[in-house]
Amino acid sequence: MLEAMAALLLIGALSAVAIPGMVRWLAYWELRAAAERLTADLRECQSRAEAEGVFYELRFWRTRPDYMVYRGVEHVRTVDNKSGIAYATGILPLPDTHLRFNPRGTGIQGGTIWLCNRFGDRMGARIYPDSGVVIFLGP
């Protein structure tokens, strides 16, 4: 009986150390996946704008973790980020931000969109306005 209690105590101590690390690790990879998806969506909008000869745009809101993709004025899809992923405070220049690509595939305005998780990790994407180059901003 004493050995079983010692084994349970050891398992409990190991769990107390391992579980917080696993939670943080999971939150990090969810953030990375969201930032990579954002970068991929920006690059896709850029290439489609150029290939189809129409405006493409991603719309962001400070108060919502999702964003919407538009082809001209037509709503294409909404991308929902997992709970715990939010836009970093103070990085969006306006209450509502739209990153838009013109039919030549260049960005109309540049900008950086940062995503963060509940542990303060930040990753995101940046568009350079003159060239339309989109880069992933990771650790």
pLDDT at 90: 47
Q: What is the pLDDT of residues 42-101, one digit of tens each?
A: 999 999 999 999 999 998 877 777 899 999 999 999 998 877 888 775 455 555 578 888
pLDDT at 92: 52
Strands 56-61 and 67-71 turn out to be antiparallel
Residue 116, token pair as written in the block:
């963060």
pLDDT at 35: 93
Extract the runs of DSSP E, i.e. beta strands, from the chain: 56-61, 67-71, 74-79, 86-87, 96-101, 111-116, 122-127, 134-137
d(CA 132, CA 105): 7
Higher-confidence residue of 110 and 34: namely 34
